[in-house]
Homo-oligomer: A and B are copies of this chain.
Amino acid sequence: MDDRTRVRRQPHRGIYDRAELLTLIDGLPVASVGYCAQGRPYVYPTLAWREGDHLYWHGSAASHSLRHIAEGVELCVNLFAVDGLVLARSGMNSSVNYRSVTLFGRAEAIVDADSKRRALERFIENLVPGRWADLRPITVAELKATTVVRMAIDEASGKVRNGPAHDDEADYALDIWAGVVPLALEVGAPVADPRLRPGVAEPQYLADLEFGEHA
């Protein structure tokens, strides 16, 4: 662990176990990808997924950012989810429950068409297990128009906060309500496409879909 991945603030919240870190990543589909270009910072959001020891994401081959990233520019990627509002008896001790992973390193493009197809299959299947087989097969032109990149999960750290507020000892005597308000990204009832062909049933795999992992 080098200096950038050591959790400096609130070190007890750091996740240092490798298996735990990978599980944490699997529950965090939303990533913020940061890089510098001409000394200026850029951050953009994307969906990411893990396979083995790599974090993957994708986008249009026409994307400025992805072209830059595929060239191997240095990256900082943060995966984050908020799990609750921690309402302490003071503002100072109020907080949020959350899960966060930060990766440093460089990405590489997946060039080979078969590997790209397999990576995209993995992406879709991670999000909506069972979906890939239903889709109109991906074409060579579509694969060409898509950039898939991956980054080794190497210089990485996780940080998690959960549980109740930690108030100042004296504040526990106050008649102030304290507690946690849970927040969770819930999956709603699927809304069928207005141009859905008559008789096409909602797939069974949508019945118990989840997005990310709840704390």
Interface residues of A (CB under 8 A from B): 8-9, 30, 32-36, 39-45, 47, 60, 62-64, 74-78, 80, 82, 84-85, 87, 89-92, 94, 96, 98, 100, 102, 104, 120, 124, 127-128, 131-132, 134-136, 138-139, 142, 145-146, 164-165, 167, 171-197, 199-203, 206, 209, 211
State the copy count for this chain: 2
Contact B179 A190 (CB under 8 A): yes
Kindly list chain B residues whose C-beta atoms are within 8 Å of the C-beta of A127. 85
24 A-B contact pairs sorted by A residue (CB < 8 Å): A9-B63, A30-B82, A35-B41, A36-B39, A39-B74, A41-B75, A41-B76, A44-B78, A85-B211, A90-B138, A92-B139, A92-B145, A134-B177, A164-B193, A173-B197, A174-B197, A178-B193, A180-B193, A181-B187, A181-B206, A182-B187, A182-B188, A183-B185, A185-B185
Contacts A177-B134, A197-B174 given; indicate if A189 touches B185 (C-beta within 8 A). Answer: no
Q: Give Cα A201–Cα B177 distance, bound, in whole angstroms.
A: 7
- Check A186 against B184 for contact (C-beta < 8 Å): yes
Other-chain residue from B87, B100, B165, B186 in contact with A45 (beta carbon distance below 8 A): B100
Q: Is the CB of B181 within 8 A of A188?
A: yes
Residues of B within 8 A of A202 (CB): 177, 179
